[in-house]
Structure 1
Amino acid sequence: MVRPGANLLGAALVLAALLAGCADVPLEGAPSPSSTPTKPTPTRSPTHGPGPTNSLSTPPPVTPTPPPGPHLAAAAPVTRSFPGRLPSGKPPLFVVVSFDGAGDLALWARWRAVAKRVNARMTFFLSGPYLYPGDHRADYKPPYHRPGASDIGWGDASNVLARTTVLRQAIAEGHEIGTHANGHFCGTTGIGRWTTAQWTAELSAFDQMVRTGPTLAAGKAVAPPFDPATVKGMRTPCLEGNRPAYRQAMVQRGMLYDASAPGYIAWPKKVNGLWNFPLQSVTLAGTTKPTLTMDYNLWFSQTGARVAPVAQAPALKAQVLATYRQALAKSRANGNPPLFLGNHFNSWNNSVYSDALTTFVEETCTQPDVRCVSNMELVSWLAKYGEPSGRNRPT
């Protein structure tokens, strides 16, 4: 049974997700975001009507095949196993940290180092253009937009190859790569009206960017950083999209979970054939404001997504950290359902959200009942043990 007021809260969650859309930081060389970002305005060509699908042209094959060795694509990360019950009789309290975009190289280094310090595994939802050189952008043909359109820019030869290396290293460390789709089109002219066929083509375009982007950037055969078939989850741009439509495309592709929808701190269920791993409704510490466990939404709740004076950063960070701690305590009080925390590769609002998340991860992931895992590690645990009995009601 859903507790009283859940319908109103659900409506508020949807509104919050729409108002506080999560824009990715543009790639190096792309226009910088303003100091008061809003939901990105899609780039739309008036000379192109709606297309039936989006696509990515397949470039001519490049030979020779790279020899065995460090240039081979990385294997899927090793999935750790966890007990069904702790000595307390409760299941482990899984904390799942994930990032959208996954482009900035310095932040890749930061989060890999944080994870290593506390034996955490994280999920990185990669945007396809981060691995595709901009001089080939016209290969991408999204619906309702001109060929090559992207609201987050494109890569260039040097950063595509650098990301290829970093992705291999991160996967070897046990981190998971998901997809954040490609052009990041949000709002009324964005992904909300895409059909299953268009989503199928969007996912195929992502796969092709992963497979061929490094080769195009290098001008010679370079194996992709990972096999796109190992990508089993997605977070949609701005948390938008017709969920039955894109989830059908995901199921047909063999994917296992969706991390896009707003939700509650509760044990996950399958919806439309996929595990639903939500960004969760929490209360901003010290207020009665509902928000989601995503950095942009926290920023929107705190300052309307405006940059506050730097002198306010310590207090804002403390509020975010207290919000995370409250959410963890709420999980513990209700049978340890997973806690899902979303972030971007950013330094928004004087790095308040990245700094608060760093502190929370470092103080939480070593606690005896906590396991900081990737989404796919949680999928594997759920597949083995199932949802703990009687613990799926929203809290």
Structure 2
Amino acid sequence: MGELSRRNALGMGLGLGAAAIGLAGCGSADERSSPPAGRHTGAPGGPKGAPRITPHLIGDGSTAYTGRQPNQPPTPERLEPGRKPPQFVIISWDGAGEVGTGLFPRFLKTAQDHGVHMTFFLSGLYLLPESKRDLYKPPNNPVGASDIGYLTDEHLKSTLGYVRQAWLDGHEIGTHFNGHFCAGSGSVAKWTPDQWRSEIEQAKSFVTSWRTNTGWHAHDPLPFDYSRELIGSRTPCLLGQDNLLPVAKELGWRYDASSPGGVQRWPSKRQGVWDFPLQGIPFPGHSFEVLSMDYNILANQSKNSTRAPSYNYPGWREQATESYLAGFRRAYETNRAPFFVGNHFEEWNGGIYMDAVEEALKQMSDPKDVRMVSFRQFVDWLDAQDPALLRQLRALEVGEEPPGGWKNYLTAKAPSRSAAPKAAAHA
């Protein structure tokens, strides 16, 4: 893997059309400088002015039930016949560890500034101190092994603070599992359902038992019941979904965001679970598309190098930003398919991908009919809709406007398919 070490495995390759597109990277945890202190809240409560709820500690007190999650949108309603659907944008973060770069608080503030909610796929291993690594028994791998680094104690404390703040701000906490194994005999691509079940139970245990594992009993609990909070995931490198889904359904999970190579169409369910794939989006300057994730853009720009020559950075930053915005506009102006964007808290190639997603977020949040939500919030909206309406939305192809306009299309009993789909030209 060249410059990419086992401790910092970033991803594998995937073909999409003519492009060689990198799969999802990982939230790596290299040894870095000490982080700023997280915003550790006291006993969590609701919005300002709301009565404070005494936390009900769960287990060893690592987590607590604190009532309904604050800062949530109104209860979703069914879309009225003939009404144009909102444009949903879901931004998510794999790993969700704070390792001293300040990226976690940076994007929490950006979200607050622009009224955005997101999903944080927390790696359970990021709440397990390295001194207790023997507690992790990864399937088909040695005890304590991991293809991402364990956090330092200081970074673990900071991550706890920002995860706590994220939930109180209204964001979702999903899972990115644990050791991020993408290659070799221990790859998640080869795990059985029983092995996925073991990995999930361990990930949940590390989140719900961090007090016991760290000895930090004076620290505030995470303000949520993880057995209720956890309803979805993204697998390492977008691998292994087929054997994960039966377990996800068994556990009552409502979605999974692990599919690679999806397209910008309205989603459907696989094995009873909503399937939210990373999507192919226009890639300015090329005839092929790129997956809607920071690492996949990097893989095409710098051939997997995370420290390419800096003279490339301005052009690549602009290209990444325009790629996100091109994907957004294609959906917004045509079929209104939800736009899924995946990221990592990483400073690859001078942090240009963080700059790109932040600038794209700011521009995408401007229109009034755009809803930038978490996967949980999007699932709530989907499940509130008339199944017949969702079938009509799914019938629209990539870049296809509704025949006869939205009022006609979503008022009719069935979509008109007399005209051939008008696919948008790919940049």
TM-score between both structures, scaled by the size of structure 1:
0.81
Q: Give the whole-Å Cα distance in 2 for the aligned partners of 1:315 and 1:211.
A: 43
Q: Give the whole-Å Cα distance in 1 for the aligned partners of 2:247 and 2:219.
A: 29
Cα shift at 1:85: 4.5
Does the CA contact (< 8 Å) of 1:13 and 1:292 recur in 2? no
The equivalent residue for 2:381 is: 381
The AA in structure 2 aligned to 1:94 is F
Q: 3-state SS of the aligned residue for 1:361?
A: helix
Q: 3-state SS of the aligned residue for 2:84?
A: coil
Identity %: 34
Q: Give the whole-Å Cα distance in 2 for the aligned partners of 1:11 and 1:121.
A: 31
Q: Is it true that 1:24 corresponds to 2:27 in the alignment? A: yes
Deviations 1:35-77 (Å, cap 9, x if unpaired)? xxxxxxxxxxxxxxxxxxxxxxxxxxxx9966xxx98466563
Does the CA contact (< 8 Å) of 2:19 and 2:288 recur in 1? no
The equivalent residue for 1:342 is: 342
The equivalent residue for 1:164 is: 160
Q: Give the whole-Å Cα distance in 1 for the aligned partners of 2:251 and 2:18.
A: 27
The equivalent residue for 1:77 is: 69
TM-score between both structures, scaled by the size of structure 2:
0.75
How has the CA–CA distance of structure 1 residues 76 and 207 changed in structure 2, closer, same or farther, with 3 Å as cutoff?
Answer: farther
The AA in structure 1 aligned to 2:385 is Y
Deviations 1:346-384 (Å, cap 9, x if unpaired)? 011111111010001112113112110000000000011
Match of 1:103 among 97, 100, 105: 97
The equivalent residue for 2:410 is: none
The equivalent residue for 1:212 is: 209
How has the CA–CA distance of structure 1 residues 368 and 348 changed in structure 2, closer, same or farther, with 3 Å as cutoff?
Answer: same
RMSD (Å) for aligned C-alpha atoms: 2.8
How has the CA–CA distance of structure 1 residues 13 and 258 changed in structure 2, closer, same or farther, with 3 Å as cutoff?
Answer: farther
The AA in structure 1 aligned to 2:361 is V
Does the CA contact (< 8 Å) of 1:161 and 1:217 recur in 2? no
Structure 1's unaligned 5+ residue stretches are: 1-9, 31-62
Q: 3-state SS of the aligned residue for 2:89?
A: strand
Q: Is it true that 1:235 corresponds to 2:238 in the alignment? A: no
Cα shift at 1:144: 1.5
Q: 3-state SS of the aligned residue for 1:197?
A: helix
Deviations 1:310-333 (Å, cap 9, x if unpaired)? 232221111111111211121023
How has the CA–CA distance of structure 1 residues 142 and 297 changed in structure 2, closer, same or farther, with 3 Å as cutoff?
Answer: same
Structure 2's unaligned 5+ residue stretches are: 1-13, 34-57, 399-427
How has the CA–CA distance of structure 1 residues 274 and 172 changed in structure 2, closer, same or farther, with 3 Å as cutoff?
Answer: same
Does the CA contact (< 8 Å) of 2:23 and 2:238 recur in 1? no
Q: Give the whole-Å Cα distance in 2 for the aligned partners of 1:87 and 1:360.
A: 31
The AA in structure 1 aligned to 2:208 is R
Cα shift at 1:137: 0.8
Deviations 1:107-139 (Å, cap 9, x if unpaired)? 110110110010000001011111111111101
How has the CA–CA distance of structure 1 residues 184 and 371 changed in structure 2, closer, same or farther, with 3 Å as cutoff?
Answer: same
How has the CA–CA distance of structure 1 residues 65 and 249 changed in structure 2, closer, same or farther, with 3 Å as cutoff?
Answer: closer
Q: Which has the higher contact order (CA 8 A, sep 6+)?
A: 1
Cα shift at 1:289: 2.3
Does the CA contact (< 8 Å) of 1:321 and 1:356 recur in 2? yes
Q: 3-state SS of the aligned residue for 2:279?
A: strand
The AA in structure 2 aligned to 1:193 is K
Does the CA contact (< 8 Å) of 1:212 and 1:224 recur in 2? no
Larger deviation, residues 266-275 vs 158-167:
158-167
Q: 3-state SS of the aligned residue for 1:390?
A: helix
The AA in structure 2 aligned to 1:356 is A
Deviations 1:288-321 (Å, cap 9, x if unpaired)? 1221000010111122122332232221111111
